[in-house]
């Protein structure tokens, strides 16, 4: 069984567990920032400082918007990794473990009990899923495996 570095494994598992919710949260934040940006007016460019200096709320909101877009693109790329991984293992025991552990949030023991297999088998299936997802993520440039 191939092994991957612990840091990569943790990253991949986090995205397998949280990828869908993360993308949805970022979409909502992006929508809120877009609304905020359209509601802002241009700053007073008279040169008169207010407070500690000249402030440009439109520029700050635009910077936050660009940052959120970048984060959303990355989260959506991870969602594609999850989708490809689910498609690859569909109909296989690894796919069932993927659904139970990463999508539904069951523990290894609960998945083993539900599938009537031992925990070690669930761990091996998880390792297969994580390795495949890591390869897909590396292919998309989301992680580097050294």
pLDDT above 60: residue 129: yes
Q: How far is Cα 23 from Cα 76, in angstroms, rounded to an integer? A: 6
pLDDT tens digits along 30-45: 787 777 767 765 555 5
The pLDDT of residue 98 is: 93
The pLDDT of residue 46 is: 56
Confidence of residue 135 (pLDDT cuts 50, 70, 90): very high
The pLDDT of residue 45 is: 55
Structure tokens at 40: 């802002």
The pLDDT of residue 8 is: 92
The pLDDT of residue 40 is: 65
pLDDT tens digits along 5-24: 899 999 999 999 887 777 77
Judge whether 2 and 129 are in contact, CB under 8 Å: no
Calculate the average pLDDT of the chain.
Answer: 83
Highest mean pLDDT among 29-33, 52-56, 67-71, 95-99: 95-99
Judge whether 142 and 8 are in contact, CB under 8 Å: no
Q: How far is Cα 14 from Cα 107, in angstroms, rounded to an integer? A: 14
């Amino acid at each position: 069984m191939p092994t991957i570095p612990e840091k990569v494994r943790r990253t991949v598992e986090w995205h397998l567990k949280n990828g869908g919710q993360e993308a949805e949260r970022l979409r909502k934040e992006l929508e809120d920032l877009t609304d905020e940006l359209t509601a802002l007016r241009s700053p007073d460019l008279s040169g008169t400082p207010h407070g500690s200096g000249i402030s440009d709320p439109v520029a700050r909101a635009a910077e936050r918007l660009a940052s959120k877009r970048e984060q959303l693109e990355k989260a959506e790329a991870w969602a594609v990794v999850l989708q490809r991984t689910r498609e690859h293992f569909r109909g296989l025991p690894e796919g069932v473990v993927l659904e139970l552990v990463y999508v539904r949030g069951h523990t290894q023991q609960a998945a083993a009990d539900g599938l009537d297999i031992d925990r070690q088998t669930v761990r091996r299936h998880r390792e297969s899923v994580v390795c495949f997802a890591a390869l897909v993520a590396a292919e998309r440039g989301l992680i580097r495996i050294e």
